[in-house]
């Protein structure tokens, strides 16, 4: 039986029941109101309409929606801000789109335990700014921080610029409340920082891309707010030299807060987007954007000297230091928006490249991207989180490829590049996830035995397969 055949259609009676669960104001079926929920940032070309959008306001409502969907065999797709790039939040089997946007409260900032308790619809940057006022830091920092939700970050195990120092979202989540597809509510983890207490279900939910349960609350670790930081901008004549410089900075014992790179094309798109320029952007083939933090003024001075020296020793054409927090913010804005900037140049550009390889293999991976661009005669802009081996090739759609052929064309290229990443000891996604865009590639390269274990886990959480069907391996 095909997936779509096993699901039932939403009847007027089911719609009435849904309305009584979430209230008439929190449900929509009009095409104009639900269209915005048909795709994420992977692009409109992948859009699929849900039958109904519901916006529950509390855990009980989420649980009641899931119970109803499970009883009636209706597919449900959870959605955060829809900033995902793997198609994870696209309701590809129709049914119920469950948006967490109304569950957006920061419930508590517990200074003694250094945790924040939040609902899933809190925007990542709002939490960061709120806890900063208390002298604390939430260390999750995807480049989409101003739009993405905490629930989406947990479901994708989001990474970003600060992973080199603080790890990805997984490291910041101490506990969650999760509603299973059956409607049962589980509390996993808590305000504690260690446990050996049975299988760690919390870690299975994190990064499961909304296929095992709906996260309705999270207890997040907070770090002390950082001391003084300095941002550097270093142009290099080649990406290879930039990669060497990063490895040398890490060997020199500098504790990096963040370390990002952009090639010439992505730099030009992003500076143009902000109506600014980076120094030497016509000559430099790559830029490093580095941030260091010093616990003391002496330590900061030492790091400033080491970063500057090491970059110059490894071929940097110059090393610029941001003179103020505004200058630093302006540099980071350029990096944060390089994907948006590429989309501004080409609305059909694909953002789906997210390979991660061991750090010493980055140059080989970058070389493979260049060869691929030549082989397929396409333009690829490149950037990423260089210190953790995570690169984002962004693909411009050539005019000669018709729009309807573009998804297959570009997914084939991404598949090939993922093959290279795997042969170099890496994986196909460092942070965006598998979603449905990389599903075939995931199934092609993953060991059958591993997929079987994953399917067993899926069955245990979601016996009827109603939650986010058509994603990962389904």
Tell me phi and psi for residue 392, to 5 degrees. Answer: -120, 90
> In this complex, which beta carbon is closest to ligand FAD, that of residue 211 or of residue 221?
211
Sheet holding 380-385, edge to edge: 320-321, 228-236, 286-294, 256-263, 380-385, 390-395
362 is a site residue for ligand FAD (CB under 6 A):
no
Structure tokens at 280: 């030497």
Identify the residue among 50, 75, 88, 91 touching ligand FAD (CB under 6 A).
Answer: 88
Q: How far is the CB of 351 from ligand FAD (least distance, A)?
A: 7
152 is a site residue for ligand FAD (CB under 6 A):
yes
| Strand runs labelled E in 275-388 | 286-294, 320-321, 380-385
62 is a site residue for ligand FAD (CB under 6 A):
no
Which residue in the block uniquely carries the two structure tokens 């250094």? 114
Distance in angstroms (rounded) separating the CA atoms of residues 89 and 214: 12
Q: Which helix (H) or strand (E) holds 296?
A: none
The three-class DSSP label of residue 262 is strand
Task: Give the x/- contact pattern for ligand FAD in 94-123, rule: CB under 6 A.
Answer: ------x-------------------x---
Q: How far is the CB of 290 from ligand FAD (least distance, A)?
A: 16
The three-class DSSP label of residue 261 is strand
Q: How far is the CB of 295 from ligand FAD (least distance, A)?
A: 26
> In this complex, which beta carbon is closest to ligand FAD, that of residue 179 or of residue 316?
179
Identify the residue among 76, 214, 233, 290 touching ligand FAD (CB under 6 A).
Answer: 214
Question: Is residue 241 within 8 Å of 314, Cβ to Cβ?
Answer: yes
Choices 12-20, 83-91, 196-204, 279-287 (CB under 6 A): range interacting with ligand FAD = 83-91
Q: How far is the CB of 159 from ligand FAD (least distance, A)?
A: 4
Using Cβ positions, the residue closest to ligand FAD within the complex turns out to be 152
> In this complex, which beta carbon is closest to ligand FAD, that of residue 137 or of residue 319?
137
Give whole-number Cα distances, 253 to 90, 160, 249, 372, 380, in Å.
Answer: 43, 21, 7, 35, 33
Contacts with ligand FAD, residue ranges (CB under 6 A):
40-41, 77-85, 88-89, 100, 120, 142-144, 148-149, 151-153, 155-156, 158-160, 209-210, 214-215, 339-340, 431-432, 468
């Amino acid at each position: 039986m095909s997936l779509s055949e096993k699901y039932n259609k939403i009847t007027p009676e089911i719609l009435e029941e849904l309305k009584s669960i979430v209230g008439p104001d929190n449900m929509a079926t009009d095409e104009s109101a639900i269209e915005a929920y048909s795709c994420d940032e992977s692009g409109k070309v992948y859009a699929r309409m849900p039958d109904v959008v519901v916006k529950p306001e509390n855990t009980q409502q989420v649980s009641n929606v899931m119970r109803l969907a499970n009883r009636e065999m209706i597919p449900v797709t959870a959605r955060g801000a829809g900033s995902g790039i793997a198609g994870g939040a696209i309701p590809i089997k129709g049914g119920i789109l469950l948006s967490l946007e109304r569950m957006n409260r920061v419930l508590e900032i517990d200074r003694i335990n250094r945790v924040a308790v939040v609902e899933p619809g809190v925007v990542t940057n709002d939490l960061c700014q709120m806890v900063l006022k208390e002298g604390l830091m939430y260390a999750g920092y995807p480049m989409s921080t101003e739009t993405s939700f905490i629930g989406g970050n947990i479901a994708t195990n989001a990474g970003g610029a600060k992973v080199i120092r603080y790890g990805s979202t997984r490291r910041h989540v101490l506990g969650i409340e999760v509603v299973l597809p059956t409607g049962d509510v589980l509390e996993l983890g808590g305000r504690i920082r260690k446990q050996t207490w049975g299988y760690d279900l919390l870690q299975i939910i994190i990064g499961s891309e909304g296929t095992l349960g709906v996260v309705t609350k999270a207890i997040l670790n907070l770090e002390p707010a950082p001391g003084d930081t300095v941002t550097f901008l270093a142009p290099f004549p080649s990406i290879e030299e930039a990669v060497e410089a990063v490895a040398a900075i890490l060997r020199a014992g500098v504790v990096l807060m963040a370390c990002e790179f952009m090639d010439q094309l992505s730099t030009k798109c992003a500076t143009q987007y902000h109506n600014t320029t980076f120094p030497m952007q016509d000559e430099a083939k790559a830029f490093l954007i580095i941030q260091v933090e010093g616990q003391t003024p002496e330590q900061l001075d030492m790091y400033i000297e080491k970063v500057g020296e090491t970059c110059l020793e490894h071929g940097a054409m110059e090393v610029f230091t941001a003179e103020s927090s505004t200058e630093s913010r302006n540099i980071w804005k350029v990096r944060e928006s390089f994907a948006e900037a590429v989309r501004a140049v080409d609305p059909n550009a694909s953002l789906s490249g997210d390979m991660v390889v061991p750090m010493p293999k980055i140059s080989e991976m970058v070389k493979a991207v260049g060869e691929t661009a030549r082989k397929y005669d396409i333009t690829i802009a490149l950037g990423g989180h260089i210190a953790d081996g995570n690169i984002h090739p962004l693909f411009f759609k050539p005019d000669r490829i018709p729009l309807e052929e573009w998804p297959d064309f570009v997914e084939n290229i991404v598949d090939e590049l993922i093959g290279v990443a795997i042969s170099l000891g890496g994986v196909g996604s460092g942070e965006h996830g598998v979603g449905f865009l990389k599903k075939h590639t995931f199934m092609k390269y993953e060991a059958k035995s591993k997929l079987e274990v994953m399917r067993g886990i899926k069955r245990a959480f979601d016996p009827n397969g109603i939650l986010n069907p058509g994603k990962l391996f389904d």
